[in-house]
Amino acid sequence: MRHSHPIEPRAAIGELVGSRIRAVANAGLGQPDVLPFWFGEPDAVTPQFVRDAAVAALADGATFYTSNLGITPLREGLARYVGALHGASLDPERIAVTSSGMSALMIAMQALIGPGDRVVVVTPVWPNLTEGPRILGADVVRVALDCVAGVWRLDVERLLAALTADTRVLLLNSPNNPTGWVIDASRQRAILEHCRQLGIWIVADDVYERIHFGQGAVAPSFLDMADAQDRVISSNSFSKAWQMTGWRLGWLVSPRGADGATLIEHFGKLIEYNTCCAPEFVQRAGLIAIEQGEVVIEATLARYRAARDHLCERLSRLPGITAAAPAGAMYIFFRVDGVSDSLELCKALVREAGLGLAPGAAFGGEAEGYVRWCFASSHERLDEGIARLTGFLERRRTKAA
């Protein structure tokens, strides 16, 4: 007898749109001489001392499963690190180590979000933050930042109005991918106070907190002002601060209620059913990164600041392009006059100019017409990218004339 059942996933997954950043990158796969700036990663490999730590851990036989929540020295190291950054003492029992920032976000979402829950997300944003809740069956409400003369701002009153009593979770990423927007402490306080009143969870995606160009060693964070009892989860990663994108290591900070309850036990169960644990040799290298990495972060920030200013200045010279220097993260998110289909533009840029950029549309409808360029590169590489973009735009203009 022939089978006639359709081969298809459940509806929410069938409707899921694949990442448009990946769609552009996939279009360039196998094409020689593409200069990629589409992903959020540097052109430099992970610092040598971190790689050495992983090699030493492997030589030492660190090839086994660990506790779901991570090895104790790393949880303790992270508690010291996060506590020092955010001016509070933090119990390692509130930390869970995860296999990447993405996995940390998904674990937090799985712990909090169910079908039909209202989830508010500040956008434009890395698509994984809006698609994660959708995979879990949530209703996602987008609150868009405004862009004035290239600078992105949050209308906090509009956000508070969207954070209704039936909202389960607010997801907020600052410094923001793709816009580089960084929330200020006074807006954060207003949001925290509002969510506190209504019992709304805040999941703060803090992966770019060390890449901000303002004062101090870290961007403003909900962790600076939240009590341990507040319904605030911080999600973080080793990828950006220590240039460890391929290592897949991250962590979560859980609140602790007045009765001592945390989400850690539940995170542990979810980690078991997702990845079981992060690899031990990676965790051991991560510990060395946070213990010895401050000089690297300082040097990286100086390099990124120079790259940001260089690229912004070069982009601004091009006709039809509006670019502003972002306050944080590692992207220039610029507007191209006359572009209404950024995906088409980015695919053509790969095909015709060998230049890999990410389309604004990947980050939401409100970001259509924009393009994201990761500036974590040498000036020479950025200049070569600018030359390719310039040639491409000239050819398009000639063709249109």
Q: How far is the CB of 273 from ligand PLP (least distance, A)?
A: 18
* Site string (173-202) toward ligand PLP, x via CB under 6 A: x---x-------------------------
Judged by CB under 6 A, the residue of 239, 243, 262, 342 near ligand PLP is 239
Distance CA 121, CA 335 (A): 22
Distance CA 178, CA 369 (A): 13
Q: How far is the CB of 126 from ligand PLP (least distance, A)?
A: 4
Q: Which two tokens stand for residue 99?
A: 């296999």
Judged by CB under 6 A, the residue of 85, 168, 195, 205 near ligand PLP is 205
Which of 42, 250 has the CB closer to ligand PLP? Answer: 250
Do the beta carbons of residue 123 and residue 145 sit within 8 Å?
yes
Q: How far is the CB of 338 from ligand PLP (least distance, A)?
A: 28
- Locate tokens 């989400």: which residue? 263
Distance CA 111, CA 392 (A): 46
Residue nearest to ligand PLP (CB): 101
For residue 351, give the DSSP letter: I
Which of 314, 356 has the CB closer to ligand PLP? Answer: 356
Q: Which two tokens stand for residue 304?
A: 């990124």
Q: How far is the CB of 239 from ligand PLP (least distance, A)?
A: 4
Picking from 250, 193, 181, 248, the residue whose alpha carbon sits closest to that of residue 226 is 193
* Interface with ligand PLP, residue 100, by CB under 6 A: yes
Q: How far is the CB of 244 from ligand PLP (least distance, A)?
A: 8
Which of 234, 254 has the CB closer to ligand PLP? Answer: 234
Site for ligand PLP in 18-77 (CB under 6 A): 40
Q: How far is the CB of 359 from ligand PLP (least distance, A)?
A: 15
Biggest CA-to-CA distance, the chain: 70
* Interface with ligand PLP, residue 102, by CB under 6 A: yes
For residue 131, give the DSSP letter: H
Q: CA torsion, points 362, 368, 370, 373, in degrees to nearest 10?
A: 0
